[in-house]
Amino acid sequence: MSERRVLLICGDYVEDSEVMVPFQALQAYGVSVDAVCPGKKAGDFCRTAIHQSSVHQTYSESRGHNFTLNASFDEIDHTQYHGLILPGGRAPEYLAVNESVVVLVRNFVNSGKPVASICHAPLILAAAGSVNGRKCTGYRAVRPALIAAGALWVEPATLAACVVDGNIISCCSYKGHPEFIRLFVKALGGIITTPNKRILFLCGDYMEDYEVTVPFQSLQALGCHVDAVCPKKKAGDTCPTAVHDFEGDQTYSEKPGYDFTLTANFEGIDASSYDALVIPGGRAPSYLALDETVIALVKKFMESRKPVASICHGQQILAAAGVLKGMKCTAYPAVKLNVVLAGATWLEPDPIHRCFTDGNLVTGAAWPGHPEFISQLMALLGIKVTF
């Protein structure tokens, strides 16, 4: 396998999902991703914005997670990367008038390397003079600027619409992440081997936002059929999510997240029709662990030895189900008591992104561990990405 390196250009109030999902999904697939922002260095963070449809005439905005950069903008050499990702949100509006960003993006496009741009990010391509005569889409509000820059604008039929023209991949919004990421992996020379896997997500109100969205869309991008269910809810209903972040306090902070749309009915769900179960963390597990129908579902997956991947507070449900005895696992540190009392051997998550596999069980401590968490689940399912 030849290692692929990708650059991701960020800015303050970049769209929360549009920066983190590609960042962690690609790492889970074995791609090295450097995230940079002009005027900032490795270890600094960019504030993010949660944008979602509302009853108003445009989307709503709220504060998202703090996204930590892992490289310094001033040290970037575009020749050392195989591709570029440009997330959306409000950041592209000011990045498009930053000459260093414009030159860097132009160099990527002119080199013929794949450039993936989503939501408002095509504004940067327009500023770089890179869309003239090229088919392109994006969030509809960027249409006038794209047309003025000479783009052959493709009106997005849905918020998930993607367009490819040569080495430029464009997408309307994070709703299109699965296809957007899949197209980018293909453009990097990647081959995805997915043996028709069906995966079930066990959701609840105020589950952690990243911990449901990142693995859900990452697995969809690999071609898996992924369903999300919640007790007492049906397909098309939503679960509010929580943004849990680490901001210097003695425990995590919480802010409102996205409304996550369920894809299947909980009632009548057949565990035998799925190949794996994923349990996100957040606050939902504390009440889902009291639901006998949830406990019965989890027991069926564990007794059948199908892969079960649980992260953060999700292990509260495993503990309540009595399926951890004799297992080795980790969890968010505050859940250690539940895990130990349930008879498991505690594995210290140091650093916090450490994840572990014991038999059919994958456990992680928190969303910074998603690349390991997803890749270990992929291994159990026989899913591969090769370059």
Catalytic residues: 119-120, 312-313
Q: Is the pLDDT of residue 1 over 70?
A: no
**Which tokens go with 55?**
């009853």
Name residue 243's beta-bridge partners: 255
Per-residue pLDDT tens over the stretch 286-334: 999 999 999 999 999 999 999 999 999 999 999 999 999 999 999 999 9
Establish whether the linkage from the previous residue to 178 is cis, with ω within 30° of 0: no
Q: Among 189, 219, 246, give the residue marking a domain's end.
A: 189
Q: Among 128, 161, 189, give the residue marking a domain's end.
A: 189
Q: Is the pLDDT of residue 2 over 80?
A: no
What confidence score (pLDDT) does residue 217 get? 98
What span, in angstroms and rounded, lies between the C-alpha atoms of 184 and 166?
Answer: 12
Clarify whether residues 217 and 300 are in a common domain. Answer: yes
Matching residue, tokens 């600027």: 145
What span, in angstroms and rounded, lies between the C-alpha atoms of 343 and 182?
Answer: 40
Q: Among 156, 189, 222, give the residue marking a domain's end.
A: 189
Q: Is the pLDDT of residue 220 over 70?
A: yes
CB atoms within 10 A of CB 108: 24
Per-residue pLDDT tens over the stretch 232-282: 999 999 999 999 998 999 999 999 999 999 999 999 999 999 999 999 999
Clarify whether residues 71 and 164 are in a common domain. Answer: yes
* Number of domains present in the structure of the chain: 2
DSSP string, 109-158: HHHT--EEEETTTHHHHHHTT--TT-EE---GGGHHHHHHTT-EE---SS
What span, in angstroms and rounded, lies between the C-alpha atoms of 382 and 121?
Answer: 34
With a pLDDT cut of 70, the percent of the chain lying above it is 100
The interaxial angle of helices 16-28 and 370-381, nearest 10 deg, is 50
Q: Which of 150-154, 215-219, 246-250 has the lowest mean pLDDT?
A: 246-250
What span, in angstroms and rounded, lies between the C-alpha atoms of 257 and 342?
Answer: 31
Clarify whether residues 160 and 269 are in a common domain. Answer: no
Within 8 A by CB and 6+ apart from 296, the residues are: none
Clarify whether residues 352 and 313 are in a common domain. Answer: yes
pLDDT band at 195 (very low <50, low <70, confident <90, very high): confident
Clarify whether residues 374 and 236 are in a common domain. Answer: yes
Residue 268 carries which DSSP code? T
Clarify whether residues 170 and 286 are in a common domain. Answer: no
Q: What average pLDDT does the segment 104-116 reach?
A: 98
Residue 78 carries which DSSP code? G
Q: Is the pLDDT of residue 180 over 90?
A: yes
DSSP string, 48-59: EEEEE--SSSS-
CB atoms within 10 A of CB 261: 12
Per-residue pLDDT tens over the stretch 17-41: 999 999 999 999 999 999 999 999 9
Clarify whether residues 132 and 214 are in a common domain. Answer: no
Q: Which domain holds residue 326?
A: 193-386
- Indicate the residue type of 352: I
Clarify whether residues 301 and 159 are in a common domain. Answer: no
Clarify whether residues 166 and 226 are in a common domain. Answer: no
Contact between residue 225 and residue 211 where contact means Cβ atoms under 8 Å apart: no
For the chain, what is the total number of helices (H) and then of strands (E)? 12, 24
pLDDT band at 133 (very low <50, low <70, confident <90, very high): very high
Clarify whether residues 68 and 47 are in a common domain. Answer: yes
What confidence score (pLDDT) does residue 227 get? 98
Clarify whether residues 165 and 283 are in a common domain. Answer: no
Instruction: Specify the CATH number for the domain of residue 167.
Output: 3.40.50.880
Clarify whether residues 169 and 281 are in a common domain. Answer: no
Matching residue, tokens 């505050």: 334
Q: What average pLDDT does the segment 191-197 reach?
A: 92
**Helix intervals (H) in the chain:** 16-28, 91-95, 99-111, 122-127, 143-148, 177-187, 209-221, 284-288, 292-303, 315-320, 336-341, 370-381
- Indicate the residue type of 315: Q
CB atoms within 10 A of CB 182: 19
